[in-house]
Chain A
Amino acid sequence: MIESLGSISKYLGLPINSSSHGHMIDNMIGWVHWLMILLFIGWGAYLIITVIKFNSKNNPKANYNGVQSHYSQYAEYGVIVFEAFLLIGLSIPLYSQLKTSLPNNNEVHHVRVIAQQFAWNIHYPGDDGKFGDTDINLVDEESNPIGLVRDGNGADDIVTINQMHLPVNQQVMIHLSSKDVIHSFGIPEMRIKQDAIPGMTIPFFFTPTMTTDDFLQKINGTKREGKGYEIACAQLCGNSHYRMKGYVTIDTEEKYNSWLVEQAEYIEEEEDDDW
């Protein structure tokens, strides 16, 4: 029933859902809107009837006592029960599931995202699966925006700017931080949004369920035709906040792996350049 009543969210104009948990948020949004619609229609109908029935022309003498029945109390109890259900039955357990049922560490892809004015630095651990150290003294906006130490664990790390690739149907754990001001990492289709707060690293996880290719197929013929997933900054971060977007590509596992290989080759080229 939660699913079927929650499915009203399809008519609310939410973006196409492309993550494994997105339907939970959508259902919840649907449920809240049922309460809102019911209450609003109830209030609206009452208001219309009342202003007609008790117009001073129709009812020249007011009744000192007014409403004597207890229906309004029952309605208020109804609202309280409904809200308690939304809170205890849906929001708290869903939030708990979304935030604390951590994925198995062996299967999850870890990615660091470091926000800055006005770009998203995406940091992959490379073949060894371990992130290299970073040092702010090494930060160079041209060649090393996150100040990565290219020794030890960092030797094989991949860093891209505004290009995030992820495999479909696999769990992703993002470790989010910021170099300068507060940003917010949102991918509306994935139903994820998380503030990036300087001085903190905040982990969160999700599982994309639709490749970019399939998504682009789905939106064919709409106004966003040809425009796939993007990271959208959701927190005011300065004058170019409005265009602080990163491109997200969800690939099949093979394509994702070959993309990683391709990126790893660039590291070698970079080193050659330094030579």
Chain B
Amino acid sequence: MSDSHHEESFWRKYIFSTDHKVIGIQYGITALLFLFLGFSLMMVMRWQLAYPDTAVPIVGSLVKWLADLNGFASDGNLPADLYNVFGAMHGTIMIFLGVVPIIVGAFGNYLVPLQIGAPDMAFPKLNMASYWVYFVGGVVMLVSFFLPGGAANSGWTAYPPLSDIATTGQTYWLIGMVFLITSSLLGSMNIIVTIVQLRAEGMTWMRLPFFVWSQLVTSFLLVLAFPPLEAAGIFQLMDRVFGTSFFLPSGLVIGGEILKVSGGGSPLLWQHLFWFLAHPEVYVLILPGMGILAEVIANNTRKPIWGYKSLVYSATFLGFMSFLVWAHHMFLTGMGQGMSVFFQTTTMIISVPSVIILTCFMLSLWGGSIRFTTPMLFALGWMPMFGIGGLTGLPLGLSTPDIHLHDTYYVIGHFHYVVAPGTIFAIFAGIYYWFPKMTGKMLNETLGKVHFYFSFIFMNGLFWPMLIQGLGGVSRRLSDGGASYAHAQEFLHWNVVMSYSAWLLAVAQIPFIYNLIKTLLADKSPNPDPNPWNATTVEWTDTTSPPLGHGNFEKTPVVHRGPYEYSVPGESTDFTPQTQN
């Protein structure tokens, strides 16, 4: 690549860059800021849940200012309307603006070309477009907070008719979603083509690091599952703006007035289209996390991942099956017996590859020489947490117990265990692991361990009581945490436990943020070790830290072996790089 020979302007190099590494970091920084925003919304919501209708401390005036702007009455408390806004936007931001962009946009973008020995993504300009379309989608979502009536307030699931008749924020939400979906489509096409076309010589399919496999499967999920939601989003936009009735049946009476629309639509159509994306989306969130875990576990046990082929086949099967389970989110919509049998059967089938993947990771520890580095701690913490997340999915995926547990806090506990300690622990593991590659500087290990242990404790303090409340029958999305309902009375004290855990979880992120900033500002050693973890994969062994500007490799790598050749008998070191002849 000749680009590295001439000086690029600041704008070209850092803002409108076509270098996958810069775009990856842009994605990473933007997504981390959105994760922080999504978390902050939740911290305010948790005050309202623990102490309903009392003024929010510290940020009360900010909440009142926003409520006034939106036209809601507030004395510094979080009114029900704004609670619903925060709830919908917490989910939207965390999933579509936080986790997916960081785990696919940042990690995928940064690492896939490096790990397969490619100079860049297959379509660098498309890559840049993907980031900027995401950015615009994010801005649209942010702007919607300041509209009269606030941002979207019908949940991240945006079920019509509620969303069809909601305030203007919902229109912005739909437009924002169209941008975000377009961005994901551009990004995932790019990743697929890159992996298929740009693998270095000798990088055969079964020599790909599992992380690359996970990105490949994820990209296929995004490419195949997002278009139906994009179409559904545009349908809903038409319903709202042009008076169509895709999702509106005839004969609706809203607030005593007959809704003047043509009618004849179906609210359930939206649910089918939505969950046809949103269930694969769960695997979009978790598969790349599993990819990160495989790299971290192999490196820190100093032995090959156990069952590499099982992992690859399981991930592929998981991806395929994830298109056949969507209606298990809809058991209570009155679906027939045949449908419920089909979808609970596919749901039980999809649990098998998940169990295999978790088993492979756990068995990989056996016989290892485990180094308890910060990334490894997050990987080890991931295992029981993802285990709880996966197991609590079982009673929800079977239609009979789901009758009681549907739409309760059990569901919230379940998917937060999957996504928060599941995916976000994997993201943390990845950040600590690859930070030296991105910057040439190691993050402080002590601060990292403090970050891990406190995050681990408070995440459990936050999510475990949700399971207890859910078994008690407490519904989700109640803006007073259940205080109005008789059956929730015995579980209200858990709200306080969860809220304090949430706020302490925020405190536990201070060492992480401090560590990031301090390390970034610190002087870089003139010759940073390109491979501080003694790893085997191409990004560690054949690039500098950080890798060269546009082009990545001084000399095109040639691959000779699989990705996890650690402690090979007869070798002088305990790691044998993929590119070692």
Q: In this assembly, does A218 line the interface, its C-beta being within 8 Å of a C-beta of chain B? A: no
Q: Which of A40, A179, A229, A236 contacts B155 (CB 8 A)?
A: A236
Inter-chain contacts of A238 with B (CB < 8 A) = 84, 162
Q: Decide if A245 touches B348 in the complex (CB within 8 Å).
A: no
In the assembled complex, how far is the CB of residue A115 from the closest CB belonging to chain B, in whole angstroms?
A: 12
CA distance A270 to B337 in the complex (A): 43
Q: In this assembly, does B143 line the interface, its C-beta being within 8 Å of a C-beta of chain A? A: no
Main DSSP-derived SS at the A contact region: mixed
Tally of B interface residues using CB under 8 Å: 99
Q: In this assembly, does B43 line the interface, its C-beta being within 8 Å of a C-beta of chain A? A: no
Inter-chain contacts of B253 with A (CB < 8 A) = 116, 136, 139, 147, 179-180
CA distance A100 to B338 in the complex (A): 11
B155 to chain A: closest residue by CB: A236
A48 to chain B: closest residue by CB: B384
Q: Decide if B252 touches A198 in the complex (CB within 8 Å).
A: yes
Task: Mark each residue of chain B from 355 to 369: 1 if its CB lies under 8 Å from any CB of chain A, else 0.
Answer: 110110011111111
Inter-chain contacts of B401 with A (CB < 8 A) = 25, 28-29, 32, 91
Inter-chain contacts of B367 with A (CB < 8 A) = 54, 59, 62-63, 65-67
* Stretch of B29-37, B445-453, B480-488, B518-526 with 4 or more beta carbons under 8 angstroms from chain A: B480-488
CA distance A81 to B251 in the complex (A): 48
CA distance A230 to B278 in the complex (A): 32
A interface, size bucket = 35 or more
Inter-chain contacts of A84 with B (CB < 8 A) = 348
Q: Decide if A234 touches B408 in the complex (CB within 8 Å).
A: yes
* Stretch of A7-15, A103-111, A124-132 with 4 or more beta carbons under 8 angstroms from chain B: A7-15
CA distance A44 to B492 in the complex (A): 30
Q: Decide if B333 touches A86 in the complex (CB within 8 Å).
A: no
In the assembled complex, how far is the CB of residue A236 from the closest CB belonging to chain B, in whole angstroms?
A: 4
Inter-chain contacts of B569 with A (CB < 8 A) = 64
Q: Which of A62, A75, A91, A243 contacts B400 (CB 8 A)?
A: A91
CA distance A79 to B353 in the complex (A): 12
Q: Decide if A186 touches B475 in the complex (CB within 8 Å).
A: yes
Interface positions of B (Cβ within 8 A of A): 79-81, 84, 87, 153-155, 159, 161-162, 165, 249-256, 258-259, 266-268, 301-304, 306, 332-334, 337, 340-341, 344-345, 348, 351-352, 355-356, 358-359, 362-372, 380, 383-384, 387-388, 391-392, 394-395, 398-401, 403-408, 468, 471-473, 475-480, 482, 484-487, 489-492, 566-569, 574
- 24 A–B contact pairs at CB < 8 A? A12-B471, A14-B404, A15-B487, A24-B400, A39-B391, A47-B380, A50-B362, A61-B369, A61-B567, A64-B569, A66-B368, A79-B355, A193-B403, A195-B333, A222-B489, A222-B490, A224-B486, A232-B475, A232-B485, A233-B475, A238-B162, A239-B80, A239-B81, A242-B482
Q: Apart from A14-B472, A234-B408, A241-B477, list 19 A-B contacts with CB within 8 A.
A: A36-B391, A44-B384, A47-B383, A64-B566, A136-B251, A139-B258, A179-B254, A181-B159, A181-B161, A191-B404, A197-B268, A198-B252, A200-B334, A202-B334, A224-B490, A230-B486, A236-B84, A236-B162, A241-B84
